[in-house]
Structure 1
C-alpha cells in the first residue's frame, strides 16, 4: 500500500517512522515533510491546505491511503475533500473535527452529553468576557475559541490578567481564532493526555501520556505546543482509564454518531485529574505532538492495520499491543520560542545521537539548506525520545542524548517527567 502522510512536524515524523516498519506499506510519502522525514519517506513540496495540489500528488504517485496529521487541514475539510474524490483517508470529517476547531462547540457538546468538564461561557465581546471573568473569579482560564497552535490559552492568576488576555484575543492576537472567547472555571489537579482510535462506532484506547505545556521548568512561563512528554503516565491508572472511556470517550462516539457527524480518527482527551473523577479540559481530533512520539515509540503492533480498520469502521475486533518500557521525549526549541525566534541555524552531531541505543530523533522544525546542512526552520525543532526500563532511565538517556546535540541556538526544559519521577522516588530510610 502506498501511503501519504500530511504534515511536517514531529508527530508526522513519528507516524512516518512507525509506518515505515509496516509490512503493508510499500511506498511512503509525506507532504511537505521536513529534514528528518526525508530520510525515511519521499517528501513532496505541497502545502497541506492546498487540497487540489494534495489530490494531484495522490494521483501522480498512485497513493492508496492518506493519513492526516495536523489539525488545520482537518478543520478545513481535507478528509471530506479526499474521500469525495475516492481517496481512502484517515482522520475526522470537518464536522467531526469541530470538537477541536471550536472550543465553544466542544463545551456545549459536553453539556449535552453530561461529559464532566469545567463551567464555561462563550463571549462575543470584551464586556461579556469581563462579566464572565468576574463571575468565575481568579484564577480563571481564557481561551480562543478556534485553533491557535496550543498558544490561545491563558491561565490568569488575576482578574486584570484575564481581562488583558481577552482583550488581546478580541484585538486579533490569534487572528480569527479569537473572534469568540471562552472563559472557563479554573480546575485544580494534574493534567494528563488520553488517546483513543475511533471508527465512528467503536473506540480503542491507546497508551496514555503526560505532556508539558509550559515553556519553563516546573511548569512556569507561557503555554506552548508542548515541550516534552512521557508514556505511560503513572497517574493514568487502570481505574482512571476505564472512567475516561466510560464517562468521556464512549459518550463522544455515541453522541457524535447521533448528531450525524460520526467520529473517525484519533480522539485526544486533555484531562484534569483530581481524585477518581477525570474532567475534560479540551479535545483534539488527532495525535498530540509530542505525545505521538512517545506513544508510537511504545507501540508493538503494526499501526497501519489499525488506521485502515478505523477508516473502514472495522475496529471492533482489533487489538493493540504495547512495549512495557517507558518512553520520554524532550523537545528542543529555538531560543525565544514561543515568542520570536531565529530560523536557519545549523544543527550538528545528530548522527552521533541517532547511534545511541534506545534513542530516536524526531524532527519537528528542520530543513536541509543548500549546502546540505541541517538547519532549524521552526519554533519546536527536535523531539529527542528515549526508551528505558522506567521513567528515571528514560529521562537520563533522553538528556544524555540532548546534551550531545550541537545547536547553540536551541534550548529545552530540563525536568521532563518530573511528576512521574516524584511518584517513583525511593522512600527515605
Structure 2
C-alpha cells in the first residue's frame, strides 16, 4: 500500500513509526513531516490547507490511503474533499469532526442523548457569560468553543479568574475559536483518555491513557497541549470501560448517525471518572498527542490493517491486541512554552538516548546547518515501555537525561498516579 500521512508532530512520528512496520506498506509519504519521520517516510512539501493540491498529489502518486493526523485539517473538511475525489481517507468528515471543532455542539449532543457530562451554558455575549458565572460561582471551567491547540481551557478557581478568562476569549486571545464560549460545572475525580476506532457504525475500544496537561510538576501552572502520558490508565478498569462504551460512546455513535454525520476515525473521549461513574469532559476526533505515542508503543497488531478496516466499514469483524507492557512518554519542551518558545537551540545525544525499549518521537524539530534544532513548543517525546508504569518511567527519564539540550525542560513526575498505585499494591 502507498500511504500519505498528514501532519508534522510527535503524534505523526509515532503513527509513521507504526505504519512503517506494516508488511502491507510499500511507500510512505509524510506532509510535511519532520526530521524524525524522515527515516520512515519521504517528506513532501504540501500545503495541507489546499485540499485540491493534496488530492492532485494523491492521484499523481497512486496513494491508497491518506491518514490525517491533526485536528485542524479534519475540522476544515479535508476528509470530505479527498473522498469526493475518490481517495480513501482515515479520518472523520467535517460534520463529524464538529465533536472536536465545537465544544458547544458536543455539549448539546450530550444533552440530547443523555450522555453524562458537566452542566454547562453556551455564550456569544460577554455580559451574559459573566452573569452565568456569577450565578453558578467558582470553581468553574471556561472553554473557547473552537480549536485552540489545547490552550483554550481555564479552570477558574475564583470568580476573578473566571472573569479574566472570559475577557481573554472575547478579546480575541484564541481568535475565532473564542467567539463563543462554553462555561462548565467544575467536576472532581480522576481524568482519563479513552480511545475508540470507529467505522461509522461500530466503535472498537482502542486503549486507555492518562495525560498531564499542566506545565509544572504536581499539576501546577497553565494548561498545555500535554507534557506527558502513560498507558494503560489503571482507573479504566474493565467495568469502567464497559460503562464508558454503554453510557458515552454508543449513544454518541447513534446520535451522530441520526444527525446524518456518522463518525468514522478515532474518537478520543476525555473522561472524568467521578464517584458516580464516567463523565465526558470533551471529545477529540484524532489520536491524542502525546497519548498516541504510548498507544503505538503498546499496540501489538498491524496498525495499517486496523485503519483499513475502519475505512472499509469492517470493524465488526476486527479485534485489537495489546502488549502486556506499559508505556510512558515525557515531553521535552522548549524554554518559554506554553508561551512563546525559544527556537533554534541545538539538540544532541538522541542516538545515545534511544534503544532498550526507548523510542524518541520528534514533535517540533528542524535541521539547520546539518544540526538538529528545536522548532516548536513541544519538541521531543521520550517514550519507553516497561513491565510496569514505574519501570517505563525509569527508562524514559534515564534516556531523557542522556539528551544534551540545555534549553529544554520537562516535568519530572509523569505517571505519578499510576506509580503511586503500583507502590501501594506492592506494599499491600
TM-score higher than 0.5: yes
- Name the counterpart of 1:234: 234
SS at match of 2:208: coil
Offset, 1:253 = 0.8
- Name the counterpart of 1:146: 146
Cα distance in 1, alignment partners of residues 213 and 98 from structure 2: 22
- Name the counterpart of 2:305: 305
Cα distance in 2, alignment partners of residues 85 and 138 from structure 1: 50
- Name the counterpart of 1:331: 331
Cα distance in 1, alignment partners of residues 375 and 55 from structure 2: 26
TM-score (structure 1 length as normaliser): 0.98
Structure 1 residues 257-279: Cα deviation after superposition (integer angstroms, max 9, x where no partner): 11100000000000001235100
5 Å matches for 1:26-425?
A: 26-275=26-275, 277-354=277-354, 356-369=355-368, 371-425=369-423
Cα distance in 2, alignment partners of residues 19 and 175 from structure 1: 35
Offset, 1:49 = 1.4
SS at match of 1:38: coil
Cα distance in 2, alignment partners of residues 428 and 91 from structure 1: 45
Cα distance in 1, alignment partners of residues 405 and 242 from structure 2: 43
Offset, 1:368 = 1.3
Give unpaired runs (5+ residues) of structure 2: none
Cα pair distance change 1:428/1:68, threshold 3 Å: closer
SS at match of 1:206: strand
Q: How many residues are aligned here?
A: 427
SS at match of 2:324: coil
SS at match of 1:36: coil
Q: Give runs of ≥4 in structure 1 deviating > 6 Å.
A: none
SS at match of 1:278: strand
Give unpaired runs (5+ residues) of structure 1: none
Cα distance in 1, alignment partners of residues 250 and 274 from structure 2: 21
Cα distance in 2, alignment partners of residues 47 and 331 from structure 1: 27
SS at match of 2:315: coil
TM-score (structure 2 length as normaliser): 0.98
Offset, 1:360 = 0.4
- Please say if residues 136 and 184 of structure 1, whose CA atoms lie closer than 8 Å, have aligned partners that are also in contact: no
